[in-house]
Amino acid sequence: MKIYKAIPLIAVILTASSGLTSCGNYKDKITVTMCSTSDDFNHEFFYTDDYFRKPSTQFNISLATMSLGVAIAAFPAKISRGNYINQSANLKAFWEKAGFTDPYVNNYYEKKPTSYSIGYGVAKKQIDDYTLLSVGIRGGNYEAEWASNFEIGLENEKSKNHVGFQSAADKVFAGIKSYIERHNVTGKIKIWLNGFSRGGATANLTAGLIDSYIALNKSPFANCTIGKDDLFAYCFEAPQGAYYDSELNGTDNPKSSVYSNIFSILNYNDPVPKVVMNMVDSSFTRYGVDYFLPDRVLTPDYISSAEVMNYHYLRMPESNHIGDYKIDDFVYYPYYNGNEYFSLGIETVYNHPSIGHYLKDWISALGIYGAKNRNFYYQTIQSGLFNFLEAFSSKAISPSMNRQNILTLLRNIFSSDLSNILFQDLIYNPRYFAKDLEPIIKTVFSDDKFTPLYQGLDGIFNAIYAVNEFDKTLIPPFLSISNVLAFASCHYPELCLAWLMSLDPNYGTPARANLNDGKYMCANFKNAEKVTILNSNGEELLYFNLNDNNGINSDVFDVTQNNYYPRSLCADFSIINGLKVYLPYGEKYTFVVEKVDPNYSIIKTVYDPLKNREVEYETTYDTAGEINLMSQ
């Protein structure tokens, strides 16, 4: 499915209103130079000191958009590619335009990153009677730092958090303290923390550390006063680095009210925020409040809202690199290798997939059945994976290997017979999967010196085997190049930016959708022949007829030459599980059910993102006709 590239009415509305700003005047517009792939590009944002005159616990969509601009500006600038000297050029340029002075960046902004480094910068600005500190954390193109993303580590006396992310956060926290002392900052201060991806996780844990000091009435910085309302933390597409136990309270619970000034903005379809995966003995989350971008599993007005987003997305100078909006092109059933379709042994009439829904199941299985528990991961997976990724990211993800180069490599791999071979391995002999994957590794590195490192990946391959043994439908979607490209696009910072622009009144008439908390409802109809679902306005969202070859009505998806084009809902049907429909939470629905047998039931569950599972809250038996339900 391709969301419409341009809709005249949307274009007229957005263009006509693009000069309006919620900041109050046109002079607040500021051009930020960013570089998320190989080229710098300029983008207009809206900055005003007024953002920081309100309590930080009040989420501000305009400040969120501006914060993402700072986070992307913190990526290495094009001018630094190959020499590392001027990586922070774009970040420093933003600070200068916004009136910040005394910029400082740490030494890992000026030399080759290592597995344990973190790039960050600090600048200050006097506003009213306080000093505002802007902290930008590098979250892209950081080479070997990528390896520490997988260093979960063991719990220790100091922290149960993800070791790699916590180590980076400790360095940033120490850097802020050092900056304050070096520049003799005293009195009232406010801090503005931003980061994307790994930088987002680091910002999240740094903010959590500062908040814990504030909650315990301890001053985190000498000769300075800072309150909870003075810490502004906006984290984007951040992995989970905070240890979570629902029985913990206060500062020990990352989701307590102590941390309500920390905001993470996430794409439900992005695999990165779904890790670290929860294991048998350890759960992870993020400090503070999670907000999810619009998605058809979560958002009633997804289609119209996606059209507004796509207007901004395709107008970006980076559009030649990012390409079309791909998220809704994901295909789950059946698996097609270019010549024939394979049966996965599950009788499925139709499946209307969602990347986010699929990845939730995949990563949950990897955590429970593959990684098993924190100690098992540490002993059997972490070392080999860390060493390999350290070498991989130092060589393959180098300044010469930008996003386009990697995608070209993937296309070459998946256009060969290799994807077919790997699929056959997964279905018939999983133990050959690792051996047949070796040509990919050698293709990436073009030499043999990484073979010993590759051999250290047995632990992660065994984890993948375990996932495949648990559910043979979870691995094959990764063997499709179109799916791989869709997965990758979910983490594009430009996509996150386009969604925020679509919701930010600074950029025109906002979309009707809102950010949400990640909850959704699943209605599972078992042994029902016909099901109609209406929204609160009486509009038909879905019509299902078990005895109709069309299965689910075309308003949900079109079927053309065995390809599935998603529309507005996520739904699937199998003989074993019946019809499952995934609906945005908090809305009122009417279910009309016809022709049921004695074993008929509706099982209604709500997905709780914190518990990472669907919680059953109502079951109806032996009832046909009209059923009204508020999904909360």
Q: 344, 336, 353, 326: which is closest to 480 by C-alpha? A: 336
Average pLDDT for residues 523-543, to the nearest whole number?
84
Statement to judge: residues 147 and 285 lie in one domain: yes
**Residue 545: pLDDT over 90:** no
The residue to which tokens 């997905």 are assigned: 607
User: What per-residue confidence (pLDDT) applies to 20?
Assistant: 33
User: What per-residue confidence (pLDDT) applies to 221?
Assistant: 97
Structural domain harbouring 471: 332-479
Contact in structure between 331 and 563 (CB atoms under 8 Å): yes
Statement to judge: residues 354 and 456 lie in one domain: yes
Instruction: Show the 3-state SS of 204-249.
Output: HHHHHHHHHHHHCCCCCCCCEECCHHHEEEEEECCCCCEEECCCCC
The shares of helix, strand and coil residues in the chain, as percent rounded to the nearest 5, are: 40, 25, 35
Q: Within the chain, what is the greatest distance between any pair of CA atoms?
A: 77
Statement to judge: residues 155 and 274 lie in one domain: yes
Statement to judge: residues 48 and 177 lie in one domain: yes
CA dihedral of residues 495, 509, 263, 185 (deg, nearest 10): 100
Statement to judge: residues 344 and 246 lie in one domain: no
Spatial distance between the Cα atoms of 478 and 475, rounded to a whole number of angstroms: 6
Note whether residue 373 is domain-resident: yes
Note whether residue 126 is domain-resident: yes
Note whether residue 302 is domain-resident: yes
User: What per-residue confidence (pLDDT) applies to 599?
Assistant: 78
Per-residue pLDDT reduced to its tens digit, 410-461: 665 555 566 667 766 766 666 676 667 666 666 655 555 555 566 677 888 8
Average pLDDT for residues 5-9, to the nearest whole number?
37
Q: 115, 22, 80, 170: which is closest to 386 by C-alpha? A: 115
Note whether residue 513 is domain-resident: no
What are the CA-CA distances from residue 448 to residues 147, 218, 452 (Å)? Answer: 21, 54, 9
Statement to judge: residues 188 and 62 lie in one domain: yes
- Supply the pTM of this predicted model: 0.89
Residue spans of alpha helices (H) in 139-250: 163-182, 198-215
Per-residue pLDDT reduced to its tens digit, 155-198: 887 899 999 999 999 999 999 999 999 999 999 999 999 999 99
Number of domains in the chain: 3
Q: State both tokens at 328.
A: 């809704």
Statement to judge: residues 275 and 394 lie in one domain: no
Note whether residue 344 is domain-resident: yes
Per-residue pLDDT reduced to its tens digit, 236-294: 999 999 999 989 999 999 999 999 999 999 999 999 999 998 898 889 999 999 999 99
**DSSP-assigned states of every residue in 52-83:** GGS-TTS--HHHHHHHHHHHHHTSPPGGGTTT
Q: What are φ and ψ of residue 595, in 5° steps?
A: 50, 80
**Which of 47-56, 297-306, 491-500 bottoms out in mean pLDDT, i.e. has the lowest?**
297-306
Note whether residue 227 is domain-resident: yes
**Which of 84-93, 204-213, 321-330, 491-500 bottoms out in mean pLDDT, i.e. has the lowest?**
321-330
Statement to judge: residues 100 and 180 lie in one domain: yes
Statement to judge: residues 496 and 412 lie in one domain: no
Statement to judge: residues 434 and 575 lie in one domain: no
User: What per-residue confidence (pLDDT) applies to 411?
Assistant: 61
Cα Rg of the chain, angstroms = 25
Higher-confidence residue: 270 or 598? 270
Statement to judge: residues 400 and 539 lie in one domain: no
Statement to judge: residues 187 and 304 lie in one domain: yes
Note whether residue 615 is domain-resident: yes
Note whether residue 514 is domain-resident: no
CATH number at residue 41: 3.40.50
The residue to which tokens 């107008």 are assigned: 315
**Residue 385: pLDDT over 80:** yes
Instruction: Show the 3-state SS of 449-463.
Output: CCHHHHHCCHHHHHH
